[in-house]
Amino acid sequence: MQEYYNYIKSLHLIFVITWFAGLFYIPRLFIYHIEAWQKPSPEKEILSKQLKLMTKRLWYIITWPSAVLCVLFAIWLLILIPSWLQQPWMHIKLAFVVLLILYHLKNHQIFKQLQRDEVKYTSKFMRIWNEGATLILFAIVFLVILKSTFNWIFGVVGIVVLGILLMLGIKLYKSIRSKNPNA
């Protein structure tokens, strides 16, 4: 089975990438959908219908299948190399994966609400929410690459700094957008 390790790992990484692509894009579509509801009729209905279709296709054709396949290939890798489960870095990585799955499920809940024309969040909230996948991705990649050499002080400070930079970027974008609504 070890001769298949690189193929399984490659497929795992491919589905990690496509899963994250879906998780990065779906909140953007949520933002557009929420903002479409502020438009006058019939523009609101036309945009909403198109955005529902786009999110449905992204969610069910790319994001959900990628999430499932990513997890299946990850489990297969853990079966091939069970000693990873004894490594502290893997415990932390798996905790971040659980957090990612919870983020995914919350996106599913928001997706279902918007499909029913229930707008419960602001576009500002969704812009901040959109950064959740980015923070989780950074944490997981650094854990996997650095493993036991990961310095937790620098790692935690780095994630906090990244979060602050993302929030500042959102504020900057908001100020630019308020000066130029077409930006």
**Tens of pLDDT along 53-81?**
999 999 999 999 999 999 999 999 999 99
pLDDT digits (tens, 9 = 90+) for 84-110: 999 988 998 999 999 999 999 999 999
Confidence of residue 149 (pLDDT cuts 50, 70, 90): low
Which secondary-structure segment (H or E) carries 81?
none
Sole residue written with tokens 């854990």:
143
Tell me the pLDDT of the chain averaged across its residues: 91
Least Cα distance to 58 among 32, 35, 97, 39 occurs for: 32
Indicate the DSSP class of residue 121: S
- Is 12 annotated as a binding-site member? yes
Reduced to 3 states (helix: H, G, I; strand: E, B; else coil), residue 180 is coil
**What distances in angstroms separate CA 134 from CA 7, 60, 84, one per listed residue?**
26, 21, 24
pLDDT digits (tens, 9 = 90+) for 27-59: 999 999 999 999 999 999 999 999 999 999 999
**How long, in residues, is the chain?**
183
What pLDDT does 61 receive?
Answer: 97
d(C-alpha 24, C-alpha 135), whole Å: 11
Confidence of residue 176 (pLDDT cuts 50, 70, 90): confident
* Tokens coding 85: 């489960």
- Percentage of the chain modeled with pLDDT above 90: 66
27 and 130 Cβ atoms separated by less than 8 Å = yes
Domains in the chain, number: 1
Least Cα distance to 76 among 182, 162, 1, 147 occurs for: 1
- Region 12-36: mean pLDDT is 97
Supply the range of the domain harboring residue 129: 2-179
